[in-house]
Chain A
Amino acid sequence: MAHAHADRPAWHQHHFHSPLQQFESAKLGMWLFLAQEVLFFSGLFVAYGVVRLGYPEAFAAGAAQLNVWMGGGNTLVLLFSSLTAALAVRSAQLGERKQTSMYLYVTIACAFMFMFIKYFEYSEKFAHGLLPGEYWHPHLEHATALLPAHTHVFFGIYFMLTGLHGVHVLIGIGVLAWIAVRNNRGEFSKDYWTPVDLAALYWHLVDLVWIFLFPLLYLI
């Protein structure tokens, strides 16, 4: 593992000439990964576009079944968690260890809150039989309008998009928790906070995806 030398701290890896080079390499690597994540999600977003073009009435009817306030609440939760993640990086840049951990804990709590709200949303869908593909068996007792026959297509897209995003939230919880553990061990300082920065970048991407998911699924 990393070990200290007389002239370089433990976190300064041997194959990097200077801390600046190490930092810039790490940042570039992370941004390349984020570019990949954008393209990763873009497959499902394009699927949304293509399927919506083919089944506009199914999408209108399906979207009407979603709860805008739960989706909007999740948006506010994720935006707030992005704020706390950015503040965690700021605290790390200042070498404030306890504050960094606190902000990381709040970010993780927001992530759990997001999954909690999502659990209620999914439960409602399951209870009414609004499931994708062959599991589609709607039984909405209080519905007033008829559902188009292809509405299950919308729910296929809905569950894939929000499900994949939810998996990313869970991974984010793991990553942020691991960084919090490392922070508590004293691995970071005002000279070295790169892992906190990179973890926050991942979390911001999760928020970015939701910023687009929310209007596309819930609002229009």
Chain B
Amino acid sequence: MAHATEHDDHGHGHDDGQVHVHVHPVSFYLKVFGALIALTVITVLTAKYVDLDGIFTPEAPAGAASANLILAMVIATAKASLVCTFFMHLKDDNRFNVLVFLGSLLFVGVFFAYTMNDTSHRNDGDRFHGIHVLPSSGERAPGGVDHQFTFEEPEEGIERTETFTPHGAEGAHAAEGEHGAEGAAVEGAAAEGGGH
């Protein structure tokens, strides 16, 4: 832009070292303001009275698919773009400033994406609990923790080995075994240990 030479003040081309800006009329700013108000009204009304998730997936409970959230964010981004481009004069500005601002948004995007992806996959463990099959025969290989969670179904085609329960004794004795173990700790523990 400004050259570091002596030609600056001689009106060399249009680069005379002076600041030239295009001054917009008041109506220009009023139009942008009007658009911002309209978008605000739309976002409030759609959030309060329109259930987008109900339109796309009628059987899902309201708010389940977060379509309302996406719409609200799209509208917010539109409003922000209007403010940045016209009120903050990015449209008439040095393109590098645009790059700086968009760059910051890019890094916020990276921050958001990586963090949300990590958080939403917390506690994702090995779904198969270490159960493997022998490649030669397809039979259950030794090891792995069998399903001790009652809500999980066993994998299809994989045989269960001996069921492991935390306190060892069969169902009927489980409660008694616990209380008994407290009273006669050594014997109870030895018996439970022997049962495995």
What is the interface of chain A, defined by CB distance below 8 A to chain B?
17-21, 23-24, 27-28, 31-32, 34-36, 38-39, 42, 45-46, 49-50, 53-54, 60, 68, 72, 75-76, 79-80, 82-83, 85-87, 89-90, 93-94, 191, 197, 200-201, 204, 207-208, 211-212, 214-216, 219-220
- Whether B112 and A42, one on each chain, are in contact in the complex, defined by CB atoms closer than 8 angstroms, is yes
Bound CA–CA A49/B89 (angstroms): 31
- B19's nearest neighbour on chain A, judged by CB, is A23
- Whether B105 and A38, one on each chain, are in contact in the complex, defined by CB atoms closer than 8 angstroms, is yes
In the assembled complex, how far is the CB of residue A187 from the closest CB belonging to chain B, in whole angstroms?
Answer: 16
In the assembled complex, how far is the CB of residue A150 from the closest CB belonging to chain B, in whole angstroms?
Answer: 16
Given known A80-B33, A87-B26, A215-B75, contact A191–B19 (CB-CB < 8 A): yes
Residue among A54, A197, A207 with max Cβ neighbours from chain B (10 Å): A207
Given known A79-B37, A208-B84, A215-B72, contact A49–B116 (CB-CB < 8 A): yes
A interface, over-half SS: helix
What is the interface of chain B, defined by CB distance below 8 A to chain A?
1-2, 4, 8, 15, 17-19, 21, 23-24, 26, 29-30, 32-33, 36-37, 40, 43-44, 47-48, 63, 66, 68-69, 72-73, 75-76, 79-80, 83-84, 86-89, 93-94, 96-97, 100-101, 103-105, 107-108, 111-112, 115-116, 119-120
Cβ contacts under 8 Å, A200 to chain B: 87-88
Bound CA–CA A90/B79 (angstroms): 21
- Whether B101 and A31, one on each chain, are in contact in the complex, defined by CB atoms closer than 8 angstroms, is yes
Bound CA–CA A111/B109 (angstroms): 29
In the assembled complex, how far is the CB of residue B139 from the closest CB belonging to chain A, in whole angstroms?
Answer: 41
Cross-chain contact of B68 among A49, A212, A214, A220 (Cβ < 8 A): A220
Cross-chain contact of B97 among A28, A38, A75 (Cβ < 8 A): A28
The tally of CB-CB contacts under 8 A between chains A and B is 146
Cross-chain contact of A53 among B18, B83, B119 (Cβ < 8 A): B119
Bound CA–CA A17/B17 (angstroms): 8
Bound CA–CA A208/B90 (angstroms): 14
Q: List 4 additional A-B contacts (Cβ < 8 Å) besides A24-B2, A24-B94, A34-B104.
A: A28-B94, A79-B40, A201-B88, A204-B84
Cβ contacts under 8 Å, B107 to chain A: 39
Given known A32-B100, A90-B26, contact A204–B17 (CB-CB < 8 A): no
- Whether A50 and B68, one on each chain, are in contact in the complex, defined by CB atoms closer than 8 angstroms, is no
